[in-house]
Amino acid sequence: MITLFDLYNSFKATVNTFQGGHVPPATVFADKVNDISLELWVKWVRLSEKSQEARDNLRPFLKRDNRTTTKMNNQYCFASVPSDYGRYASASILLKKKGKVTECVCDETIQTKPQIDQTAQQRHDTYLDNLTESTVDNVDLQRWRACLNHLTKMPTFDKPKMMEIDGGFYVAPKQVSVLVLSYYTQPIAATFDYTVSPANLQTGAGDYLIYNAATSIPLQWDASLVPEFLIELGQFYGLYTRDAFVSQISSQQKQMS
């Protein structure tokens, strides 16, 4: 994680500003950092299908959750999205193979782990060994009705389908009881809480920031992304102070990164 205190110190060193700064740490600086964080999140989510670097950067935001479905009609069911849902990553359903028969797995079955005796534990482990995952194809609105009624390519347990709508997903076939949803959460807004030490006008001591880590919220990004933030902050600082040189240098660094 990246604390705003460490990032602010690096920012000061980069643009050569004094500690009080032209950019107030807890307001303007923190707000701009959160804006940059959201911009980077949007950019890398868009690139996540094609770039391993983007997926590595987004690792703190990727979650996986079992969403219980509710029946809608005779063709499909509905799975709601979690409260912290940001962007879709992938989805699947869990299946249990019994010879040539495929059964869908309910949420309670995969979460309950009996601890009665060794025999129960062995039965549970054997049950898990027979589970498989089937990727759900996320189709658009134009193809949804056609895929439901297709004679040979209709949704099955081996090839399930879903469509995203407001608040969740329609999932087919209707017998699917749990959707295993992988998704990206939006960045949590970081905060910068601090106090200022008293200044001694005779000696010049004091008058510096004392960071309060207990009441501050760090960025979720990995520390390796600090240079990316500094480039964006440098460009912002040049515009904020009307310093064309700083803004130009930051723009060149951004193009080279």
Task: Map tokens 């509905």 to a residue.
Answer: 78
Q: Rounded to an integer, what distance in angstroms lies between the CA atom of residue 155 and that of residue 160?
A: 5
Domain map (residue ranges) of the chain: 4-56+191-256, 63-185
Q: How many residues does the chain have?
A: 257
User: What is the model's pLDDT at position 198?
Assistant: 79
pLDDT at 206 exceeding the cut of 70: no
How do residues 218-254 score in pLDDT, each as one tens digit?
Answer: 999 999 999 999 999 988 887 777 655 444 555 555 6
* pTM of the shown model: 0.78
CB 141 within 8 A of CB 68: no
Residue 161 bridge partners (DSSP)? 137, 172
Task: Map tokens 């782990």 to a residue.
Answer: 113
- DSSP element (H, E) containing 171: strand 168-172
User: What is the model's pLDDT at position 112?
Assistant: 45
- The neighbour count for residue 108, using CB atoms within 10 Å, is 10
pLDDT confidence bin for 95, thresholds 50/70/90: confident
